[in-house]
Structure 1
Amino acid sequence: MSQGLPTRIKWMYKLAPFYLLTFVVFYLGLTRESVPNDAFTPLRWVMLALFVPLAVKYVIQLLAAVLYSLTQARPELSGTLPRVSVLIPAWNEEVGIVKTLRSALNSDYPDLEIVVINDGSTDGTHQQIQDFLQSLPAEHRQLFCYLKLPNGGKAKAMNCGLERASGELIVTVDADSLLDRQAVGRLVARFADPDVAAVAGNVVIGNRARSIECLQQLEYLYGFFFKRGDSVFNSVYIIGGAAAAYRRDVLQQLGGFDHSIITEDIEISTRILAHGYKTRYAHDAVVYTEGPSDWKGLCNQRLRWKFGRLQTFFRHRSLFFQCRRRPGPYLSWLLLPVALYAELLLLFEVVLMTLFFGYTIYTQDFLPLMFVILLMSSIIWLQVISDPKRATHGNLLWLAPVAWLLFFFIDAVEFQALYRSIKRFCKGEALQWQKWVRKGLSQAPELLSDSNGSQHPVDLLN
């Protein structure tokens, strides 16, 4: 406890300015009378209209999240369990590869093989893998298949692993991530419906020693929660490779992962939907991943994500506003169009926020801003309470009241990624995989055994 005190005090100092600003908003809102100005009425209605599509999407997702809790939250494994192949692609992952392999080996799923694909690493990844495999008893070593390939990119490495895999279901895990012991079984449980071709797991940021890492933890919790609503409509279109599961025959039928798009995981999940299959989300299939620990690494990561998602939108543009029964109107008329619309709003966010805050201060009408703060805080508290690893996210309860300010930092990162992506598209430039410095998750996967979230890979605030 005494060791955690300095960290908590440091956090209080960091959050103090944000809490002070939030307090000022509520103080002014409760003590000042608004000054009506008819000249600003058109601006107010225009601002409201601009955010209506986003509001409609979030309301639908929140309502659907309740339905998810009633219908999809706790499926049970039954009957003959399918064989599962866990694919772990690795390129220069000497820092964390052994912990990732050990967490996969520690899975409680009974019929498992682990396929490790070394994509031409130039560091000590190969030696780390070899030493780990040689240290295992024979009965554990036979669960592994190790492929050492020349560097060809993640998608090609995944396709090689797919060819070698013998499992009916394919689970992919990044080499900087740790599988929760129950994650594989909980992913498998979502395939009871034969039309479900892919399932997204719940990715949690496992490193939280720095502010930038806790900010990503908050962002991941906030974003992944809304996948519950997408799951109800069988339309989870972003299934990240850090925690994904697929039917092998569907992947093979569709030609495997596309190496021409840098976010092969987003592309394949969207392609699966385009072919009429269902996709789901498993909130209780938890995988801990390492987030970038510096701003440059985070900016480059988001550039890759943004560029790849825009590539995917363009490749599958026929999904927008289509009238086929599958994937259905939720994806084609709401999810995808609003996602693209949100990128358009992001381009003009500085102007829009300047107008909004200028209007708020000039007219002393703080009610809309107070409503946004209370709503966002309530949603985050709900997300923490309803998360299967809620103890892991206990630190976010302190961030919820000031999240409305913290998300502007994420918006700034997303804006630079969007600007750089558009610039590359205009110039016809491609984007190569961008490596960032990894430090590795700090604890062993044996701590990932408690299903109620009481144990986790790092201390709540350290």
Structure 2
Amino acid sequence: MSAQPPLSAFRVTGRATWVLLAGAAAGIAWAGYRLTAVVTGGNPVLWVYAAGIVLLVWQLAVAAFDKPSRATDDGAARLAQAEVAVLVPAFNEDDETLRANLEALLRQTHLPAAICVVDDGSTVGDYAAVRDWFLGAAEGAGVTGTWQRQPNGGKRSAQVTAARTFPYADFYVTVDSDTQLDRRAIEETLQPFEDPQVQSVAGTILVTNYRTNLLTRMQEVWYLSMQMVDRAALSRTGSVLVNSGALATYRAAVLWDNVEHYLAETFRGRPVHTSDDSLLTLFAQQRGRTVHQPSAFAFTNMPSTFDGHRRQQLRWMRGSFLRSGTRFRSLPTDRFAYWYHLVRWVQYSVATMALVALVVSGALLHPAALAMGAVIVGTVQLVVAAPYLTLRRSDQTTAQRVTVFACAPLVGLWYLTVLRVMRWYAMATVGNVSWGTRQSVEVTA
């Protein structure tokens, strides 16, 4: 079993930000102009799209000037003494990928006090070699390393089992078993916690296997764009709605004050094993601010086949739809997060009705309309993906970065067509709330 090379990333700031902002504004202005030219006659749908363009310009402006949080000297000194426990649930993971995850945790500049691994009843192996190596390596590094195996109970159960082996942590870091952290990731996620109102910090997720094929390249530019634009804007108001399971840090009280609810959530009488990240983020939202740290990077594998991608997206979409109802019931109406969430749902609903109406009427099936729609969607997605060009990752050349960025128009079309249909299906089958996405190892190192 060979060790994988460490991965790292950073963002370029300064002049590049201004260039991207100017390009983004020009692209949005052009797309907006074309949209108003196509939708005429006072159609109220135009106002929904116009509002969407205004929202996107705000997000891009925030993203262009987004900077990592930095604690003061006194705050940094206090945070350096904080005890951090990392929770690593594992289920049917590839051995080399899991070892790379643990190696990265043992390289952190803020070394965790504990790394708690729980094998949640895997059926494709026992990780014996990885376990023996890890327990010895953790002891040598002065880290409390624990490894438990339990009957399959889902990700939430595995996380709580892991946390209970180290119940006195100040912060808990959640990572997925197929994730490698940049060596400064934990230290970076701790920085915003100098503010006592901050309850959770989301990391920035990159795709480890992005070079595998077109699908993984599309996922790389798509996920990074969402984080650098949408999540960055929400972070400015302390209203991040969903942290990524691949890397997020929580004050310990967020978990312990809600642990029974976290484990016992049901939907239509069935236990919920999906949407764990969004529920933890909601718990944090109810206590205070939820933010994003753009300088805390994690590298995670994404499905490289359509079947794997389909199952992952359906699981996420079902969880998102389920959690939307919870947010409307639980978020205070005086919080920005509540109204932002409501606006996005209104925007999505109206856009969907307009799309269906155009298809039924045949207006969208005209070749010229299809071509213009594709150009607008592709242009907007290029604009949204522009921050990707400021990224520098240790395993990527300039040519590879540009190649990934060039996939952005395909992402827009994929989202508008294939993923939109998937979302409708996910809403119709929201009762499927199981955790397991792998019945076998899907992505190997």
Deviates further, 246-255 or 338-347: 338-347
- Cα deviations by residue, 1:227-256 (Å, 9 ceiling, x for unpaired): 111111000011011111000022211236
Match of 2:257 among 246, 250, 253: 253
Larger CA deviation: 196-205 vs 125-134: 125-134
Alignment of 1:61-76 (within 5 A): 61-69=59-67, 72-75=68-71
Residue 171 of structure 1 corresponds to which residue in structure 2?
A: 173
Alignment partner of 1:293: what SS?
coil
State the shift of 1:334 in Å: 2.0
1:193 is displaced (CA, Å) by 0.5
The alpha carbon displacement at 1:414 in A equals 2.2
Which of 324, 345, 352 does residue 351 from structure 2 map onto? Answer: 345
Q: Does the residue aligned with 2:116 lie in a helix, a strand or coil?
A: strand
Identity of aligned residues (%): 21
Q: Which amino acid is the alignment partner of residue 176 of structure 1?
A: D
Contact 1:65 1:228 in 2 (8 A): yes
Alignment partner, residue 361 of structure 1: 368
* Alpha-carbon distance in 1 for matches of 2:424, 2:196: 41
Match in the other structure for 1:232: 236
For 1:217, the equivalent position in structure 2 comes to: 220
Gaps of at least 5 residues in structure 1 are 1-28, 442-462
Give 1:127-206 correspondences, 5 Å limit.
127-133=128-134, 136=137, 138-140=139-141, 142-165=143-166, 166-206=168-208
Shift in Å, 1:437 = 3.9
2 CA distance for matches of 1:197 and 1:240?
15
Match of 2:305 in 1: 294
**Paired residue for 2:87?**
87
TM-score (norm 1): 0.75
Structure showing greater Rg? 1
Q: Over residues 277-315 of structure 1, what are the superposed CA-to-partner deviations in whole Å (9 max), with x where a residue is unaligned?
A: 101101111110000010011011011101011111112
Conservation of the 8 A alpha-carbon contact between 2:118 and 2:159:
yes
What corresponds to 2:53 in structure 1? Answer: 55
Relative to 1, partners in 2 of residues 1:440 and 1:306: Cα closer, same or farther, differing over 3 Å?
same
Query: Equivalents in 1 of 2:326, 2:370: separation in Å?
Result: 46
The structural deviation recorded for 1:47 is 4.4
Query: Are 1:41 and 2:31 matched, yes or no?
Result: no
The match for 1:285 among 296, 304, 308 is 296
- The 1:311/1:154 distance shift into structure 2, 3 A limit, reads same
Q: Which residue of 1 aligns with 2:116?
A: 115
Quote the RMSD (CA, aligned, Å). 3.4
Deviations 1:22-69 (A, max 9, x none): xxxxxxx9xxxx9x999x7327x4442232342232222222234533
Cα distance change of structure 1 residues 423 and 357 upon mapping to structure 2, 3 Å threshold: closer
Distance 1:67 1:439 in 2: 35
Return the TM-score normalized by structure 2: 0.78
- Rounded to whole Å, the distance in 2 between the matches of 1:83 and 1:37 is 58
Q: Higher mean Cα deviation, 372-381 or 230-239? A: 372-381
Distance of 2:363 and 2:276 partners within structure 1: 38
- Which 10-residue stretch deviates more, 415-424 or 160-169? 415-424
User: Which residue of structure 2 lines up, in the alignment, with residue 449 of structure 1?
Assistant: none
Q: Flag the 1:250–1:134 CA change in 2: closer, same or farther, 3 A.
A: closer
Alpha-carbon offset, residue 126 of structure 1: 3.4
The Cα shift of 1:85 comes to: 0.5
Match for 2:113: what amino acid?
L
Distance 1:258-1:421 versus aligned 2 partners, 3 A rule: farther
Task: Quote the residue 2:442 is aligned against.
Answer: 438
**Given residue 415 of structure 1, which amino acid in structure 2 is its aligned partner?**
R
Aligned residue for 1:283, secondary structure, equals strand
Distance of aligned partners of 1:143 and 1:134 in 2 relative to their CA distance in 1, 3 Å threshold: closer
1:409 CA drift (Å): 1.9
C-alpha spacing 1:111/1:259, structure 2 compared with 1 (3 Å): same
In the alignment, the residues of structure 2 paired with residue 374 and residue 424 of structure 1 have an alpha-carbon distance, to the nearest angstrom, of 33
CA distance in 1, matches of 2:173, 2:292: 13
- Residue 11 of structure 2 corresponds to none
Q: Amino acid of the residue matched to residue 405 of structure 1?
A: L
Name the residue aligned to 1:244. Answer: 248
Partner Cα distance (1:91, 1:178) in 2: 16
Q: More relative contact order in 1 or in 2 (CA 8 Å, sep 6+)? A: 2
Unaligned runs of 5+ residues in structure 2 are 1-29, 266-271
The alpha-carbon deviation at position 110 of structure 1 amounts to 3.7
